[in-house]
Structure 1
Amino acid sequence: MGALVNVILPVFIVIGFGYLARWRSLLDDGQVDGLMRFTQNFAIPCLLFNAISSLDLAASYDWRLLVSFYAGAIAGFVAGLVGGRVLFGRAWEDSVAFGFSGLFSNLVLLGLPIMERAYGPDALMNNFVIISMHAPFCYGIGVTAMEIIRSRGEPARTLPLKVLKAMFSNALILGIALGFAVNVTNFPMPTVLSEALDLMVRAALPVALFGLGGVLVRYKPQGDMRAILFVSSLSLVLHPVITYGLGTAFALERDALRSAVICAAMAPGVNTYVFANMYGVAKRVSASVVLMATGLSILTIWGWLAVLP
């Protein structure tokens, strides 16, 4: 019960404040979108830049950590793709969107605050290692699969350009790429710039959580409830179970196992709806999954915190 009260509920209370503010029309959709644009295009890229630029790359990138997490993510994508097509008879394009919801976890807006409250700020290093590859990896798989399906009859040579354009128009990926560039080149950051970035970083997570609550108001649980529950289970059950099993089999050290499983247990992020909306497919299911899985994750995260060492 302590983990629920002290770790999980404060995070979801901030989300609830944002939900209440939008629901009671204290903020309108434009203002909520402005908050989310600030966090996703500016504050969170600054957070990721700071984290990646200061990582000890040689010591941090443990293949066991990455395989444990990303094997579970790929399993979620494949299960969503096949389930959407075989179990629910949806078009291939819709099925890719199902798979993307099983692939893309909310590592930043939910994963970082949950991890920090549970294990302290010093436990976040492995989270940032996973996050550094997350957006490029997930968008690479999702966009490639969608473009292959949509480009029936088009020359294959146009595919790489479409994938790269979709990936590098994402501010999170740009923040990560710049962080790697500074890290690898050992570029000396001016103190005044570092302090300015620190101010942006302090605002990133609380504003993002509040804005996420406002965004969730517009995502009504509509569509095929069986499909919504199925896709939600990919993120909340399948992904963390596979990650925990592989991490245990690989004898991941305690902190790495915690980070991998907590990241894997997060609900699908808002980017899953953005992806579906970008292609105009499975929008109702994707939006409903974001809302329902985020709510259900209060209980599933509580369970994983009890299981983890």
Structure 2
Amino acid sequence: MLDIISITGPVFIVIAVGFLAVKSSLMSAEEIRGVGRFVLLIALPALIFHAVASRPMSDVFEPSYMAAYAAGSLLMIAVSYLFSRVVTGLDQSRAAIRSMGMTCPNSGFIGYPIMLILFPEIAAQILALNFIVENVLLVPLLLTMAEQGRNNGESRSIGQSLKATLTRLARTPLMIAIALSVPVSLAGLPMPALVERPLGILADVAVGASLFYVGSMLAIVGKKGMSAKAIPTAIGKLIVHPLILLVAYGAMVALGLTSADEPMLLALLLTGALPAFTVFPILASNYDYGAEAGFALIVMTAASFFTLTLLLILTQDASGSMWGNLF
């Protein structure tokens, strides 16, 4: 038990430090935005480039992991969207945005630090794989669905909305880092120390700064959308999403499409059990759902300490190694 808490505890302590830094007025919202921009535009792209470019492509891409993540998340989108439309009566745009909160995890700011503690050898690889699925498939799909809900989809065709979203995402430093690192990896070019060491330094900075930023953003968002309506979003993201991903991976194993790879499976479940990404309230505000999304993010992040800890306990067998009897 203490071993598990030693994994999740430090992560959430740093998040709490970020939260307190803003609440105590030690740092302003403007200063925090600078931290976030540094992590998102410089540190994480450096980490991704270093992770992909410094190893053979065969050691980076895991088709079975990406397929399970994509298939399970698409199923989660369908379930959460139908729930939001039929059960809670949200319109198309808000239903799509709530589905985003239940499906798109904080792979970079929270997921990577946890993965780095659990399995440092593949943590950066998992981050790259997650970013590809999220930025090429999940986020474009959900933003297109949300955009189509505006004016009953009359302003743009589905193709136009999807193209605009993909174009916008393709220009982000994270996707540019992935695009630039792939040719280097394929060519097998050794990275000069003069390049590799600065990238490594920036990658190391990304961990603490990311967690600090998450906590500070929670303080900035505040309790403006405080409502019980946040509970289904939190349950969907922290509990239902990892269960659906487990089913997706299990189905692939049962069909003989892949073998049970314990570290990859644990990484997949942890990804599903992460709270929503930090920009969730910002994107949601474009569809009059920002306050609710902000409070849902607070609930998810606070509750994820307990759900992630429980997940690690459940996947630990009597000998102390991961995976008990899942497969």
The two structures have a TM-score, normalised by structure 1, of: 0.91
Residue identity opposite 2:233 in structure 1: V
Q: Say yes or no: does 1:202 pair with 2:209.
A: no
Pick aligned residue for 1:260 from 232, 256, 268: 268
The aligned residue for residue 227 of structure 1 is: 229
CA-based RMSD: 2.1
Q: For residues 63 and 189 of structure 1, do their structure 2 counterparts lie closer, same or farther at Cα, with a shift above 3 Å needed?
A: closer
Matches of 2:248 and 2:156, distance apart in 1: 39
Task: Count residues in correspondence.
Answer: 307
Deviation at 1:209, TM superposition (A): 0.7
5+ residue gaps in structure 1? none
Deviation at 1:160, TM superposition (A): 4.3
Structure number with higher helix proportion: 1
The aligned residue for residue 142 of structure 1 is: 142
Deviation at 1:154, TM superposition (A): 4.1
Matches of 1:167 and 1:75, distance apart in 2: 23
The aligned residue for residue 291 of structure 1 is: 298
Deviation at 1:136, TM superposition (A): 2.3
User: Do the aligned residues in 1 keep the contact of 2:54 with 2:190 (CA within 8 Å)?
Assistant: no
Residue identity opposite 1:121 in structure 2: P
Q: In structure 1, the residue corresponding to 2:229 is in which secondary structure?
A: helix
Deviation at 1:187, TM superposition (A): 4.7
Pick aligned residue for 1:211 from 213, 217, 242: 213
Query: Equivalences for 1:26-175 in 2 at 5 Å?
Result: 26-117=26-117, 119-124=118-123, 125-150=125-150, 152-154=153-155, 156=157, 158-175=160-177
5+ residue gaps in structure 2? 254-258, 316-322
User: Do the aligned residues in 2 keep the contact of 1:243 with 1:261 (CA within 8 Å)?
Assistant: yes
Matches of 1:217 and 1:38, distance apart in 2: 19
The two structures have a TM-score, normalised by structure 2, of: 0.86
Q: In structure 1, the residue corresponding to 2:221 is in which secondary structure?
A: coil
Q: For residues 195 and 62 of structure 1, do their structure 2 counterparts lie closer, same or farther at Cα, with a shift above 3 Å needed?
A: closer
Identity %: 21
Q: In structure 2, the residue corresponding to 1:270 is in which secondary structure?
A: coil
User: Do the aligned residues in 2 keep the contact of 1:75 with 1:239 (CA within 8 Å)?
Assistant: no
User: Do the aligned residues in 2 keep the contact of 1:273 with 1:283 (CA within 8 Å)?
Assistant: yes
User: Do the aligned residues in 2 keep the contact of 1:97 with 1:281 (CA within 8 Å)?
Assistant: no
The aligned residue for residue 237 of structure 1 is: 239
Q: In structure 1, the residue corresponding to 2:149 is in which secondary structure?
A: helix
Give CA-to-partner distance per residue, 1:144-170, whole Å, 9 cap, x none: 222333372346353343122331243
The aligned residue for residue 176 of structure 1 is: 178
Deviating more after overlay: 205-214 vs 125-134: 125-134
Matches of 2:35 and 2:4, distance apart in 1: 27
Q: For residues 75 and 225 of structure 1, do their structure 2 counterparts lie closer, same or farther at Cα, with a shift above 3 Å needed?
A: farther
The aligned residue for residue 21 of structure 2 is: 21
Matches of 1:62 and 1:193, distance apart in 2: 26
